[in-house]
Amino acid sequence: MAGLPAGEPWIRLGISAAVFAAMAGWEVMAPRRCQAIGRWVRWPNNLGVVIIDTILLRLLFPAAAVGAALGGEAQGWGLLNNLPLAPWIAVIMAVIVLDLAINFQHILFHAVPVLWRLHRMHHADLEFDVTTGVRFHPVEIVLSMTTLGT
């Protein structure tokens, strides 16, 4: 897609890895509780699921949300592209609306039984740490991208 920044997947991966490393380091330096099951047992499984999810999304949605956003901007689609707002206000509004949409989707994944069957993988982690937040069933990730990412 035209307009997609060169190296966009590597930029996103780098930012994600930096945030993950910072949070993981924080957990190691200041743990909130002792873990009965160590990181070296759980992390390969949880991070393996993240790798599967990422590959699946890249195969099914190569441009993903970034491509959809750039396409919408180029076509002048979307409310925030058509309101006379300062860019910083538009960014804040977009973050708030996206966060509310993700929260609503999370509520649906808890409330609808068929969606809960997918989502409970996230809640079934035997410990709670930085990897729990990225542990999602691949079908849930695909559904999330089709509803919120495009």
**Per-residue pLDDT in tens (0 to 9) along the chain, 150 residues:** 455 567 777 888 899 899 999 999 999 899 888 888 888 888 999 999 999 998 998 888 776 667 777 777 788 787 877 888 898 898 899 889 889 998 999 999 999 999 999 999 999 988 888 998 889 999 999 998 887 654
Report the predicted TM-score, pTM, of the whole model to 2 decimal places.
Answer: 0.74
- Which whole-number Å values give the CA distances from 93 to 97, 107, 110, in the listed order? 6, 21, 26
Tell me how far apart the alpha carbons of residues 32 and 111 are, in angstroms, rounded to a whole number.
30
